[in-house]
Amino acid sequence: MHDLVIRGGTIVDGSGAASIEGDIAVDNGTITAVGGTASRGREELDARGLIVAPGWVDIHTHYDGQVTWDPYLTPSGWHGVTTAVMGNCGVGFAPARPDRRDWLIGLMEGVEDIPGTALAEGIRWEWETFPQYLDALEKMPRAMDIATQVPHGAVRAYIMGDRGADNEVATDDDIRQMAAIVADGVRAGALGFSTSRTRLHRAVDGREVPGTFANAKEMVELGRAVKRGGYGVVEIASDMTPKQDEFAWMTALSRETGLPITYALVQNAAHPGKWRALLDQTAEARASGANITAQVACRPVGVLLGLQSRVQPFTTCPSYMAIADKPLDERVRLMRDPALKARILAESAQNTKREWFRPAGQFDNIFALGDPPNYEPTPEQSIAHVAAAVGRDPNEYLYDLMLQREGRELLYFPTLNYADRNFDALDTMLRHPDTVLSLSDGGAHCGVICDASAPTFLLTHWVKGRTRGPRLGLEQAVRLQTRRTAEVYGLFDRGLLKPGLKADINVIDLDNLRLDPPVMAYDLPAQGRRLLQRGHGYRATIVSGQVTWRDGEATGALPGHLIRGPQSPR
């Protein structure tokens, strides 16, 4: 008798091969049969009419703090994620000298928009070194597997103090000490090393992440340290400017060490064609023997605007600022007053401080998100177009729209990956052989973005719902977020439904799979707020053979553990 049998499902095994109808058997947390079994299971799941796929492997999350108090890692746990990789973008909480803890919290708050009060309240500091951080994570039972990387920002601050935080040039001795920490972290089980080289990433004090301007010598030596530690990924968030300089050291490092290097690739409206040039450069680097892969998203990076969001078009208007601290219901009541509305709209028209939001040029790029949420709106659905169609000022139309649903309406302001007002760039990125699906940012950007639902969106939009361009096949979509992501990070024990591999499995009602609109919750420690988005249609999520989620509810099973280093098939 097997521990678990999943009966009669449509098996999409993660390899990209055509689906088959059949059963899956599990014993001792491992898949033991795929296709059929005559034996019964101590537990059986009826999967007739359902999709059976590997658990999602999400390689770009920021649960570095939340992982110390939340065994379920919501919202990712709601969306079929069975493995989450943290420590991205050069930010994290180890190594951490006791007198730098608050600074590290401020760095994470500034870069990833996670409330610092929640981190300060929730984290129980049981470590100083990176290996001690891993030991602390390993103690806690959890519903999914987790892995992390050594973050450049924390390492630089640990060794260089304020010089590191100020992005001063590292001395040879600084680099030697940082390299020792990186190598020790990889030996202890880190899946690699991460760094931020984009000026978009700043701490709450306005300073760029330590390492943003690190020279090629520092980057190559820290990459070599990963190799000395064993094996790991070098993950980079970079502006790739100039791209020749970045690719020069990346290519040289990967060719020398054999290590995989992965960088974030997005389409920027300021340089809408740069992503193509970067993909061409990636292909050239790979042709020369470098293992470089671009991390790409499956939907635009879009800021959600609203009265509960951290930002909205009237945030800096003096008349709005006067009521900004009032409860939502009271703000809505006051904003419906015609006199206050007129003052806010007048101030908005004259406001020059909104560097991130200039209404004269952006109303054509703001949309009602709607229910179900629409992440691929047409130009005709923009605030500018809809307001003009009804003969209204777009600023006033947007104001009234935000007051709908008692002030809980959200507006969608895509900022990246939507320069051409369609998904053509994303479509090419997703299908490109030199890319990997990523950038969900689970656990991060709590006040303005909610993209941890990206694994579900890949199916609801790209497989089921897309109407303005080609769709992805189900087998291809599943492969993108299972075997493909797992293999980039050396996790060859998962991401595939095959005998001998780890029994991480999703059972999905694809016909009824859907996303709710995001909602603002205040459920982080210290009542910290975060945008959350539920998915419906996951009949079961299974980790190491145990059902952790059933029909959207946690079962209480906590079979997840800390992954230490690359994993071979069992």
Q: Which amino acid is at 240?
A: M
Q: What is the mean pLDDT of the chain?
A: 95
The pLDDT of residue 421 is 84
Q: What is the mean pLDDT of residues 233-239?
A: 96
Interatomic CA distance for residues 488 and 484, integer angstroms: 7
Q: Distance (Å, rounded) from C-alpha 379 to C-alpha 366?
A: 9
Give all strands (DSSP E) within 297-388, no chain letters.
301-305, 367-368
Outline where 382-519 has alpha helix (H). 383-389, 394-402, 404-407, 424-431, 454-457, 474-480, 483-488
pLDDT digits (tens, 9 = 90+) for 212-225: 999 999 999 999 99
Gap between the Cα atoms of 261 and 245, Å rounded: 15
- Give yes or no for residue 297 having a pLDDT over 80: yes
Which of 499, 494, 313, 552 shows the shortest CA–CA distance to 409?
A: 313
Average pLDDT over residues 185-208: 95
- Give the pLDDT band of residue 352 (cuts 50, 70, 90): low
C-alpha–C-alpha distance, residues 503 and 557, integer Å: 14
Least confident of 29-33, 130-134, 420-424, 509-513: 420-424
The predicted model gives 264-293 an average pLDDT of 95
Q: How confident is the model at residue 359 (pLDDT cuts 50, 70, 90)?
A: very low
